[in-house]
Amino acid sequence: MEKTGRIIKSISGFYDVLDDESEELIRTRARGNFRKRKIKPLVGDKVKFDATGDLGYILEILPRDNSLVRPPIANVDQAIVVTSSAEPNFSSNLLDKILLNIEHNGITPLIYLTKADLLTNEQYLELKQTLSGYHEAGYQVFDDQDSYNEKQVDKLKQTFANKVTVFTGQSGAGKSTLLNHIDKDLGLATAAISQTLNRGKHTTRQVSLFDIFDGLVADTPGFSSIDLQTITPEELPTLYPEFLRYSGECQFRGCRHVNEPNCKVKEELAEGKIMQSRYDNYLYFLNEINSYKKRY
């Protein structure tokens, strides 16, 4: 009997599929022809499967909206970017780079600030001011000084419903701590992973999806290496929501917002409607991407 579902866990060649109708977990294997065609089912994949015997079989992988390499997962809807205020210090360049990668994969980013209690009130207010620029650019931002207060964590949980969510951010930003505040089991899962990884073994870590607050949440932080090599100079300006808001009013189609005349984005920048730091990082990234092209 053919059914549809989503892979939520993979263990050495077996795939646990959440049946769309019954919401039961069915253990399956992939048909041999997947291997011949060099197709590997991923956690997060929507699949057609046959569940007549004790063990089901995956018949077909349905088209993916997106897929990530780290963590290996498909059809991600949103990514929580855990951003540290101190230890490691806040970096707008790194935050913008992570946001670009997420936007490039067709995933909605949310920004979650941690360790703000390590700042003086003055430093915190300054950082909050910076983050308000991201809010104005169109991102949802969680920036309370008490990072893990119940009200803010609850507000984050409310974004999970009917979505597949991953967590990302630089190491030491507090991802595991946040996961712990969301659900102890998730925190425990990630703690076990980081211990294994810290032992210096190159463990290929299987990702699992946990059913939390009517959504599915990955227990593995992702995006460990972040480069811009898959982004073209043409695509880059389209990954800035605040540029997109105005680029229709630029004189030239495909305006890069650098030296072109009558560029609406640069006008809005001059009026303070676009963050200078975001624009400076944009020029820096554009330069980086152009230098890749020269090298190859």
Residue 112's CATH number: 3.40.50.300
Instruction: Tell me if 263 is assigned to a ligand binding site.
Output: yes
Q: Are residues 141 and 171 in the same domain?
A: yes
Q: Are residues 38 and 80 in the same domain?
A: no
Q: Are residues 252 and 192 in the same domain?
A: no
**Cα→Cα distances 132→79, 99, 290, Å:** 19, 16, 30
CATH number at residue 19: 2.40.50.140
Domain count, the chain: 3
Instruction: Tell me if 177 is assigned to a ligand binding site.
Output: yes
Q: Are residues 188 and 145 in the same domain?
A: yes
Report pLDDT for 201: 43
Q: Are residues 51 and 181 in the same domain?
A: no
From 15, 38, 63, give the residue that closes a domain.
63
Walk along the chain (296 residues) in steps of 10 and give the mean pLDDT of each run: 93 92 93 84 95 89 90 93 92 93 93 96 96 96 96 96 92 84 76 54 66 88 71 95 96 94 96 96 95 72
Instruction: Tell me if 293 is assigned to a ligand binding site.
Output: no
Q: In this predicted model, what pLDDT tens digit does every residue of 161-191 receive, in sequence order? A: 999 999 988 878 888 889 889 987 776 666 6
Instruction: Tell me if 175 is assigned to a ligand binding site.
Output: yes
Instruction: Tell me if 13 is assigned to a ligand binding site.
Output: no
Taking the CA atoms of 163, 247, 139 and 88 in sequence, report the sign of the dihedral they define.
positive
Q: Are residues 214 and 95 in the same domain?
A: yes
Instruction: Quote the domain boundaries for residue 244.
Output: 236-295
pTM of the model: 0.89
Instruction: Tell me if 53 is assigned to a ligand binding site.
Output: no
Instruction: Tell me if 106 is assigned to a ligand binding site.
Output: no
22 in any annotated domain: yes
231 in any annotated domain: no
Instruction: Tell me if 172 is assigned to a ligand binding site.
Output: yes
Q: Are residues 31 and 120 in the same domain?
A: no
194 in any annotated domain: yes
CATH number at residue 257: 1.10.40.50
Q: Are residues 76 and 59 in the same domain?
A: no
From 218, 248, 277, give the residue that closes a domain.
218
From 218, 253, 287, give the residue that closes a domain.
218
Instruction: Tell me if 176 is assigned to a ligand binding site.
Output: yes
Report pLDDT for 252: 94
Instruction: Tell me if 181 is assigned to a ligand binding site.
Output: no
Instruction: Tell me if 219 is assigned to a ligand binding site.
Output: no
197 in any annotated domain: yes
